[in-house]
Amino acid sequence: MLKKLAIVLICSLPLSLMAEDTKLGHVNSQEILSLMPERVAIEKTINDLQSQWEKELVKMREEYTTKIKEYQEKQATMPESIKTARQSELGEIEQRITTFNQTASADLQKKNQELFTPVVEKVKKAINEVASENKYLYIFDLGTQSIIYQSPTSNDITPLVKKKLGLK
């Protein structure tokens, strides 16, 4: 009876160790980021910056609208050379508005990334620490649908798949 118990324990020991090695977990980083206290200040900064850009864009559009109306009212009596100059001027204003809009959008996106990067890194660090402390092999992020933690002891089978496919 004692021998049978010892055999069962010895046989089940590798299974329990293997189960421990394949500990998987998941996290929703977007939910965590939405609860970070820094988020409120960052969003206010971004909204303030966006308001400044929008005010400037409104001024540019008002200037453009005014010049269009003026041109339309006087174009019938304008000499051809002045018409051409005004059309060119209107085209330049349109181009400035388009360029300004693109620049504003890119700047807002850059500022957003600049401000959120430290917060994202803080969350990633916490996730990595929790995963390491609790001996997880992989942590899947439901917010970004990706693997955000991979244990150093995990097995990469890429070389084996390449070999199987005859790739170098």
Taking the alpha carbons of 88, 94, 97, 103 in that order, is the dihedral positive or negative? Answer: negative
- The residues pairing with 51 across neighbouring beta strands, listed in sequence order, are none
pLDDT of residue 31: 87
SS3 label, residue 139? strand
- Whether 1 is in a domain gets the answer no
Q: How confident is the model at residue 22 (pLDDT cuts 50, 70, 90)?
A: confident
Give tens-digit pLDDT for 42-62. 999 999 999 999 999 999 999
- Whether 9 is in a domain gets the answer no
CA atoms within 13 A on the CB side of 23: 13
pLDDT of residue 2: 38
- Whether 13 is in a domain gets the answer no
Give tens-digit pLDDT for 132-158. 888 888 888 888 888 887 777 776 666
- Whether 6 is in a domain gets the answer no
Residue 159 has pLDDT above 70, yes or no: yes
User: What's the rounded mean pLDDT across residues 57-68?
Assistant: 94
- Whether 133 is in a domain gets the answer yes
Q: How confident is the model at residue 75 (pLDDT cuts 50, 70, 90)?
A: confident
From the CB of residue 8, how many other CB atoms can be counted at a distance below 10 Å? 10
* Tally of structural domains, the chain: 1
Find all residues with CB under 8 Å of 21, minimum gap 6, and list them.
Answer: 137, 153
- Whether 152 is in a domain gets the answer yes
- Whether 2 is in a domain gets the answer no
- Structural domain of 65: 20-165
- Whether 12 is in a domain gets the answer no
| Cα 33 from Cα 111, distance rounded (Å) | 17
More confident call, 22 vs 49: 49
Two tokens, residue 114 = 């600049």
